[in-house]
Every structure is written in C-alpha cells, then in structure tokens.
Structure 1
C-alpha cells in the first residue's frame, strides 16, 4: 500500500532520529519500498548507475541474465546513498534519516552491520546485576528507599521462579559509572543484610 508506506515514512522520519525499514526492495512487482520512499521525499525513483553496474557485473560473472526484474534492485530514490550488501551485492539505501534494507534476515544483518557504525549515539547506559535470593515481596520497601537515594539511576526488579522457589534479579542502570557503582553497592548491602537476618 504505497500511500500507507509514504504516510508512515513521513510521520516516523519527522518524529525520530532514525527510521529503519526491511524488505520491499527486491525484483518483484510487490517490491514497492524504493518507489514509496522516493515519493515520501518528493524525488524520483530511478536506476542508480553504481548499483546498476555492480549488479550487471555480478550477474555477468555468474552467467545469469540481467533481466528487467533483476534490474529493479538497482532502483532507489534520487540522491540516496548506498548501504552496502556484502551478501548478495544489491545495495540498500539511505535517504535523509531513513535506512532501507533487505528483508532476508542474513542480508539485513549484514547491511545493519554496515549501518550501525554510522549512527550517532548518546552516552552509553551501563548496567550491573545483583542476584537476590528473595522474592519481590520482601525487598520492595528497601529497594524503593535505595532508588530514592540514587535518583540518577534506574533500578529494576525482575522476579524469577524455578525449583519451587522465587528469587529476584536486581538490575541497576546509570549513565555514570560512579553512580552505578554506588547504587549497586547499596543494593548488594541490602541483599547481604537480608541474607544475614534470615
């Protein structure tokens, strides 16, 4: 549904830093992503000379006819940059903040491996896990106090069940290592205190 793709692409690219799509850039009639993204950016969808030459050479080398259907994989919006495809040659493309990649999982992964290093990132979120042999009912109050004492962290509680008993994984997250470690120490001390009391 071209109109739906255009509307979604325009809404998402205005709202988010990056948009990633998979599939719809192959050789068949229902592969309409390149046309739709071109329409979203108000540019023409046309054969990209470099993509065309790469595909033409690849098919010639393998003794396979470069059919009109196969040529479709060289089409992309005017002004788009290639996303290299080390698996099957046919490139994906990037236009603005929209990244268009193959739908075949192994090819998508290979393309994504080329895209990820180009993305701007913020400060990394760090995390540390503290094993707690108790269920959430016992740790809820003390854990809330620790969270209040460390507002620059996020403390998550993840209950587990196995062998007839409950336990909890407590995960501390922060962007600053010192803040992470201070909260982790308080969580570990809480667990140690509860263990000593039981």
Structure 2
C-alpha cells in the first residue's frame, strides 16, 4: 500500500482537519450533553437536544474510526529526539487514551440507548444497528460508564494540551511540537 506523503515534522491536511473538526465537535457534544442532563425530564427541548447529541455522537464515533484508520495509513510525525524516555512514553499513553476514549464514549452512549430499547438515529434519517437487546438494568451501568469516560477524556485532553504547551514554552526549541498541528513558526 502506498503511503500518503507528509513532511516529516508536520501532520497532513487530513489529520489536521480531523483533529480540529473533531475537537470542535467534542466541545459541542460535551456542552450539549452537560446542558441537557441539567434539564427537567419533562422539558421538550431536552428530547431535541438528546437527539442532536446522539446524532453527532454517532458521527463522531465514525470519524474516530476513520481517524484511527488514517493514523495507520499516514503515521504521525516522529517525536523530537530531545524528548526524554518518560515524555515519549507519556505521549504514547495519552495518545492511546484519546483514541480509546473517542471510541468508548460514543459506544457507551449507543449501548445506553440500545439497552433502553431504542436504536441510535442520525437525525432521524439513518438508524445505527442495534448492538444490544433491551435491558433496563444495564441502562444505568452504561450511563455511569458514559459519564466516567467523559471525565477521563477531559483529563486526557488536559494532558494533551499541557504537554504541547510545555514543549512550546518550557522546553528547548527543538522539543516544540505545536507547529506540527497549528500554523505557528517553530521557536528559534
């Protein structure tokens, strides 16, 4: 299989588009999810927001699968040689955590919906396959898992951003990884 050419030190346009598009979608998903859970169950806008949240969550999961496949077709640029062993290990751990959580969170949301006896519908146009039979006892477990996984994702995102900022502002210029994903000039 031919590899798509990317500069050694930068991500390609597809990887950047997926990264920033999914980041914006994630902000919307977490915002809508947090807001709708605070609404009274009888509030009619809650149902509309829930449908929107599920639709974008299903799309997000598909993008996460595509992103994982793309990362195998076009691997990330190598980490700077000046990073220590523990920094490289932590970077791999955080990246793996992000990928795992980007798949597990929408999956747990889909499981929650299926256990409640419903398919996940994308804007009422396409129903996702039902993976689990109705099981009201499992709804609560899937709901708890969904919430816990979101908090784990927030921690992973914080670590991801903190690491990029550390390398940009506190480390040697050669450790700066931020220009690989954003249009910044490397430090000198």
TM-score by length of 1: 0.23
Choose 1 or 2 for highest CA Rg.
Answer: 1
Comparing both structures, which one devotes a greater share of its residues to strand?
1
Compare relative contact order (CA 8 Å, sep 6+) and give the higher one, 1 or 2.
2
Q: TM-score when scaled to structure 2?
A: 0.24
